[in-house]
Amino acid sequence: MNCIEVDGLSLWYGGFQALRNVSVCIRERQITALIGPSGCGKSTLLRTFNRISERDPAVRVEGSIRIHGEEIFGPEVSLIALRKSVGMVFQRPNPLPISIFENVAFGLRIHEVDTAVEAAVEEALTAVGLWEDLRFRLHAPATELALEQQQRLCIARLLPLKPEIILLDEPCSALDAKATLAIEELLGRLAAQYSIVIVTHSMAQARRVSSECFFMLLGEVVEHGPTEQLFTNPRDPRTGDYIAGRFG
């Protein structure tokens, strides 16, 4: 089943058109990768899925995005509710400058979710593989963690809110090779429960983690398909050139 359906989406930063009539369907409970050279619009597309791109007043959007069938540009859509179910992880780990525990509990607190906070924090930290390492220092500042742990924490922070979709914007670009593999392994496990969309500049990473892959160029989706097929047998010559490393 599709979790995100994008239809005729165009986006402008002031006079510059960053997305051109994009129409894609993203399937649920798997990892979908958006690849393409810098400036192709892959991060922009990702950032419209929870409408965080609209923080910039110069941004103008046309078209439609439906998440589980529901239009997110509709007049009665609450951005707060939308972002609660569509969470995002950034390029640089950005834990909040509070304790590890409070980082994970933050979402529950701001949404006033009536649930056992301790249990939810333990569950989230267990899911990202941090619980065993951190259970005795939950009240240490989150900013003291190693980068990989910080990025795991940023993922864990989303989980107590029971999101449907997790968006990741080049989540490993600040990490070393070993940490990258560890995060990828984590994403693989989370894909059983959550729909995951990842933007990456690394074709190797897209190939390792994703089931489906979208190749973007100059604000358009050039090609999409099952990852193996897109990498071994691209239909569009531009996809082939990019994958072969002839540009980008």
d(CA 41, CA 19): 6
- Binds other proteins by CB under 8 A, chosen from 18, 161, 187, 203: 161
Site for other proteins in 202-241 (CB under 8 A): none
Please tell me whether residue 77 binds other proteins under the rule CB under 8 A: no
Please tell me whether residue 15 binds other proteins under the rule CB under 8 A: no
CB of 83 to other proteins, least distance (A): 4
Site string for other proteins, 99-138 (x = CB under 8 A): -------xx-xxx---------------------------
Structure tokens at 142: 């989150």
Q: Which is nearer to other proteins, 167 or 213 (CB)?
A: 167
Tell me, by CB under 8 A, how many residues bind other proteins.
Answer: 30
Show the CA angle centred on residue 179, arms to residues 49 and 42, nearest 5°. Answer: 25
d(CA 192, CA 104): 21
Instruction: Answer yes or no: are the C-beta atoms of 165 and 86 closer than 8 Å.
Output: yes
Please tell me whether residue 171 binds other proteins under the rule CB under 8 A: no
Give contact residues for other proteins (rule: CB under 8 A). Answer: 50, 52, 55, 57, 79-84, 87-88, 90, 92, 94-97, 106-107, 109-111, 141, 143-144, 154, 157-158, 161
